[in-house]
Amino acid sequence: MTANDLFEQIKAKESFLCIGLDTDLQKIPSHLLDLEDPVFEFNKQIIDATSDLCVAYKPNIAFYESMGEKGWESLKKTIDYIPKDIFTIADAKRGDIGNTSKMYAKTFFETYNFDSVTVAPYMGSDSVTPFLEFKDKWAIILALTSNSGGLDFQITKDENGEMLYQKVLKTSKSYGENIMYVVGATRAESLKEIREIVPNHFLLVPGIGAQGGSLNDVAKYGMNNQCGLLVNSSRGIIYADSTKVFAIKAREQALDLQQKMKALLSSLL
């Protein structure tokens, strides 16, 4: 999927919502557990209820690979079920030397046909550029994350006063096209400065909802002339209810966010 394709979806749906499919057998409604594939059935109902409101889905790979072969099967069925005009993100946070990163890229781009993969850039260009060798596929590089431990390294300064996440942004943007960045919603105060470094890149922004990030602040400081944002909500949508009406409640939460996004997009669209 190209950046223009994604922007067309944002305009059509008046939304920049990404829904995280962090599907946990311990949290999904109990009436699904007797089914042959409860994870896929849960995801299927969430997708059916929300696909007209969001422009991206983001399965967190750990929730699937932790179940072994059956989890990978559930993931494949989920990706195959998502409408093809919706952007898909493998939240895998992979990153290794070149030949290993290439195998990770083949896994998610060829075997599972994701549009993008989250990538840890600690090993430099070797860990990113193999993901950029696939046509219309994306590497989403971790930059400034919303977890508290992210501050252990990401804001450390070098002798020139430059923070590590700033160096990541400045260096990696030269690796190639089709790069996005992860910037946590709880770091919204840094988005203005981040936009000065990467004005045209899409930003994947987790941390809205359960983690307390402000959608208004994210849009105020992070939006560019193609929106440039994919704001993710996971638990706040998919676990809005644990009964047989869970998909209806998930839709209500997604619709609430989409309506807020519509208002924020009004001046742009």
Q: Domains in the chain, please, with CATH?
A: 3-265 (3.20.20.70)
27 is catalytic: no
pLDDT at 210: 59
**Alpha-carbon dihedral angle through residues 88, 90, 96, 101, given to the nearest 10 degrees:** -50
Helices (H), strands (E): how many in the chain? 10, 8
Task: Provide long-range contacts, Cβ within 8 A and 24+ apart, for 32-37.
Answer: 37/70, 37/73, 37/74, 37/77
**Is residue 20 a contact partner of residue 233, using CB atoms and an 8 Å limit?**
yes
**Angle 227-232-235 (CA atoms, 0-180°, nearest 5)?**
160
Three-state DSSP state, 60 = strand
What tens digit of pLDDT does each residue of 126-146 get?
999 999 999 999 999 999 987
Task: Name the token pair of 226.
Answer: 């193609």
Dist. CA 76–CA 82, nearest whole Å: 10
Task: Name the token pair of 52.
Answer: 């007209």
pLDDT at 147: 82
Catalytic residue of the set 76, 93, 106, 167: 93
**Alpha-carbon dihedral angle through residues 239, 240, 246, 248, given to the nearest 10 degrees:** -140
Give every CB contact of residue 145 below 8 A, 6+ residues apart in sequence.
154, 182, 183, 184, 187, 206
Query: Which residues are paired to 19 by β-bridges?
Result: 57, 233
DSSP states of 74-134 as a string?
HHHHHHHHS-TTSEEEEEEEE--SHHHHHHHHHIIIIIS--SEEEE--TTGGGGTGGGGGS
Task: Name the token pair of 115.
Answer: 């549009």
Cα 105 to the chain's mean position, in Å?
A: 16
Dist. CA 108–CA 76, nearest whole Å: 10
pLDDT at 212: 65
Burial (0-12, 13-18, 19+ Cβ within 10 Å), 205: buried
Q: Report the predicted TM-score, pTM, of the whole model to 2 decimal places.
A: 0.96
**Angle 167-169-172 (CA atoms, 0-180°, nearest 5)?**
95
Give every CB contact of residue 76 below 8 A, 6+ residues apart in sequence.
111, 112
Low-confidence ranges of the chain (pLDDT < 70): 209-212
pLDDT at 131: 97
